[in-house]
Structure 1
Amino acid sequence: MKGHHHISMLTKNGKKNNHFYQNILGLRRVKKTVNQDDPSMYHLFYGDEVGNPGLDITFFEMPIAGSTKRGTNAITQIGLLVPSYESLQYWKKRFEDLDVKHGDITTYMGQDALFFEDHEDLRMVLLNNNGARIPTTWQPVTSSEVPEEHQIFAMGTIDITVRYLNKTVNLLKDLFGFTVVENEVDFVRLQSVKGERTGEIVVKELEADSEKPGRGSIHHLALRVENQEELEMWNNKLIDYGLHTSGIIDRFYFQSLYVRDRNGILFELATDGPGFTADAAVEELGQKLDLPPFLEGERELIEAKLEPLD
């Protein structure tokens, strides 16, 4: 596993979502498309200048979404990496100016941290990378109001809260090859590449009712694999492990494989390519509604059901 690929959430309102992630967090909307399993809803992708794997934050728009009832057996927090402590200070001031719910600068899992929430109470935390390696593939967003030296450049620590700790930890450790870097009574911290926060997961144990998803809830976490050949290998391994998979699905921008662990956590394994420039030039990313070829014939019907975002 090469680290995090993308993470997907539910939003009630695409316009407000678009404003928060572009105009407040300074990410670029790199793909405006639809949920391929339900084309009546938007699927919005935000990331770096070209949508490189590792930072893609994605949302399914569900206008009927109610509030999230927090609980266990869910992905519960997203860590986002920024370059320095000065970056955290910049973001604290920005959040104050833009009326974003946030706390004071503190620490989390050994990193300087600034906890905050979006307009739908999605829990996130900015983490100080503190001079560690920034992925060479990252491309700063040229249109962002956020200065390059303070921009978010990757996903960091992802929190998963479960009823039975070892059921999720064992999948990550024994099958996916994650390394345990911290092992406490009620949580385990693991990394897909030891020493790299861009593939870090903290699994926490909580005996409670299962989370009821709604706006601001996290649907799944996708992990990076190289290509379809690796996906086929993982599919066989997961089946041998006793889990049911989706089989390999062509998402056009990448190939995917979905699996739920024994706590019900949904993981996706996704290939790095071909990427979002498969059907759009870099300067045009995220501007128009892009559809995979198998949905292109339904464009007129699909567009008629979607509210304009801009």
Structure 2
Amino acid sequence: MYNIPGHHHISMITKHANDNNHFYREVLGLRRVKLTVNQDAPSMYHLFYGDKTGSPGTELSFFEIPLVGRTHRGTNAITKIGLIVPSEESLQYWMKRFDDYEVQHEGISTYANRPALLFEDEEGLRMALIVANGEKISHWETYDRSPVPQEHQIQGMGTVEMTVKNLSKLSRTLIEIFGYQTVFENEQDALFQSVAGEVFGEIYVIQQDGPSEKPGKGSIHHLAIRVKNDEELQYWDEQVKKRGFQTSGIIDRFYFKSLYFRESNGILFEIATDGPGFLRDGNVETLGEQLDLPDFLEAHRDEIVEKLHPIV
């Protein structure tokens, strides 16, 4: 049996690509590693931010939908993203930085049993900077041109929070299909890890009744979890189907291959391969600086560009 080595990326909805671009590059100090379009709707920007090369486990991805409304928060949704920082001193640095940039935050507290700083971006996307206990993604690379000093840079994705009506159903999916391990499980919340003791594959689940979330700007569309290669992806496709879930089948996303399925509460998961990666059609020096299109869309570049507004 294969294992899940952690998160791959997480995808959100933004209303304004330019504002989004400013916040994640200039405020959070991430590198924009890919400027491309939604392959299923090429008139829509798809932005990726991450470490120096957009390594799996560091990628925050956004679809721009200019006409989208606000998020009506509720249950059966992915509700918070944990981002790893190196130390508790880093939280002090970030609290001052957020104050300087007028970013809404809750001060230093704890989250999922770790020192944390909870905050929101300008569209209400809920996030938490969390201190790892020495854990970090081994392939994370610092970005030298970040406005954030190396000793305080975000080192990838940590705990991802999901709020659902039925915790036990999601628990069974994570444990029985994918082999996640239980850190703790109570009546109303639980913590799971894809790799024991490691935060970069951690999922925190809260059970909550009420209306389901209606997505809008600042909402989280799906979580992608990592697999190494095509062979493992095929294996997981078979395992998910054996449990009675429908999958999208394997899709070639040019920078990786993946499949999608919804678990019983309606949470959308993607399973994505580590490669080929964002350097497939770029180089490390200029990554993310120009519009990149997968081969099957390249012939339509002029038409696609005509429908996009410039990102500055």
Question: Same-fold call, TM > 0.5?
Answer: yes
Letter in 2 for 1:3: G
CA deviations 1:66-124 (Å, max 9, x no partner) are: 00000010000000010000000000000001100001101112110100000000000
Letter in 2 for 1:74: A
Alignment of 1:10-49 (within 5 A): 10-49=13-52
Distance 1:106 1:72 in 2: 24
1:210 is matched with 212
Equivalent residue of 1:116, what SS?
Answer: strand
Alignment of 1:1-310 (within 5 A): 1-130=4-133, 132-310=134-312
Distance 2:306 2:286 in 1: 22
Pairwise CA distance, 1:35? 0.3
Letter in 1 for 2:28: L
Q: Which stretches in structure 2 are left out of the alignment for 5+ residues?
A: none
Pairwise CA distance, 1:136? 2.2
Distance 2:217 2:135 in 1: 34
Distance 1:180 1:57 in 2: 25
Equivalent residue of 1:204, what SS?
Answer: strand
Q: How many residues align?
A: 309
Q: Is the 8 A contact 2:136 2:200 kept in 1?
A: no
Letter in 1 for 2:118: F
| Identity score, percent | 57
Equivalent residue of 2:122, what SS?
Answer: coil
Distance 2:151 2:36 in 1: 30
Letter in 2 for 1:302: I
Pairwise CA distance, 1:135? 2.1
Pairwise CA distance, 1:197? 0.3
CA deviations 1:232-267 (Å, max 9, x no partner) are: 111111111000000000000000010100111000
CA deviations 1:131-165 (Å, max 9, x no partner) are: x1322211111111100000000111100001111
Equivalent residue of 1:141, what SS?
Answer: coil
Distance 1:78 1:279 in 2: 28
Further displaced range: 158-167 or 213-222 = 158-167
Letter in 2 for 1:77: K
Distance 1:121 1:135 in 2: 27
Letter in 1 for 2:180: F
Distance 2:167 2:137 in 1: 30
Distance 2:272 2:54 in 1: 14
Distance 2:40 2:283 in 1: 25
Distance 2:110 2:100 in 1: 23
Distance 2:135 2:12 in 1: 27
TM-score by length of 2: 0.98
CA deviations 1:19-41 (Å, max 9, x no partner) are: 00000000000000000000010
Distance 1:209 1:110 in 2: 28
CA deviations 1:47-78 (Å, max 9, x no partner) are: 00110000100000000010000001000000
Q: Which ranges of 4 or more aligned residues in structure 1 deviate by more than 3 Å?
A: none
Equivalent residue of 1:22, what SS?
Answer: helix
Distance 1:138 1:99 in 2: 28
Q: Is the 8 A contact 2:135 2:199 kept in 1?
A: no
Further displaced range: 38-47 or 161-170 = 161-170
Letter in 1 for 2:10: I
